[in-house]
Structure 1
């Protein structure tokens, strides 16, 4: 994927930092005034997020130790977030700094695309469906570029995400260089696939259908933690020059397991090779999911 410079859109309450660029100020949406009341969508999103509870302290500490010990022996850095929609329990690890999303942002674009069609009281056009299919199932970059433009580019995506309470994501002019945290991507998954989210049933089913049928070569990632459960996922990978050519390798998805409906996001960067990053992402997902289910994932 060819990147056109790292230009990020600033939105309220979003992570500071990133690379400065003269065009950023021209492209950034206006900040919402502090006194403006939150929208109904924002209030609903905040209430859903606040309803979650943390892992039991003993389980959380054990998982923290396991992840710390594993990642100490791995190159680069990695963070993970999990939300069990069945129990309401949430967990996040090492979210101090954002990560480039690479092709994981295609899930965010899909959410914005479906909301755009829904707001216009229509279904996706045949062309939009073809492009969405290629974007998610094959990770086609040209289709992602067209749909990113259709939703309004970085300004349009920022507007949608912030309106849904997803407030720590910075869309970039180069969509693959969008910066985010695992917890924000878990929220994206929730808004995209959850019955309490903003999408109609048909649109939710369509999104899950796409993410459940990615091409076999791209079916690695968080699905390694699913065992025999059902998996809907999207992965992203990018050899980023920011880190001396180190690889960004990410994976997000929904794991439907017995007694659990898990939303999982693992983001990583600075791996020396893609295979190394994939191994890290899969092992981190397995450790985190085991803490929620008590079941050892297959090695």
Structure 2
């Protein structure tokens, strides 16, 4: 359908803008998949100070300040939802700006970096303490010993983005808002839903007839195809985007909407696709799917 190409590009741009508008509270160095930042996995509640209020978050109970005024975040997956709801971030671990929406980068540049922020120079509890936080958010995958040591003096909340917590970004951002005592969530969700509705209405005719697949390669041998039950796919689906059959159905749902396969089988995910999206960062850095390693450009 050559004549419909400009319209398809409009749909693509609109859908991607919708993703950026909500910030995808689960973003990490890779905006499509969470992963450990080092050390063993950390799960469950962390011992905290005896004062404050108790909150439930992602199946764990935490005691947090009545209203935190100095927040330190460790890992992109914890920084994003805190920024989404206007949390008082005084420091964060080193973040690749290419993974941040352009509209958010000026604010992130102004946030002090915990420790030296260099590869091979791990963050210590003393680095965190330098910023005198009254609350710390740590992304899943933060080294367990660091979480434990920091948690002796400051409440630490773990932000999980794997398994059952991968897809439900709204609950994740909502939980962070409750922990911080923020009232920003209703406005954030209203903006997101309004934008999704506008995309549906404006591009209804095109959305009805095109089918989409989102692909990502983690190495030169394997790919992941994302469907409507994945974290990213759910946002596209809210905007009316329809996916190819190979990323839908019971098997895809059981896998959280992310179908992993050999790169040699990529053709099965291209069948029936009118639009193929290759996952990238906000600087246009691609991945092993293109045959080149990702090297984000300086924003």
TM-score norm. by structure 2 comes to 0.24
> If each structure's helix is expressed as a fraction of its own residues, which one has the higher value?
1
Q: Larger Cα Rg: Structure 1 or Structure 2? A: 2
TM-score norm. by structure 1 comes to 0.24
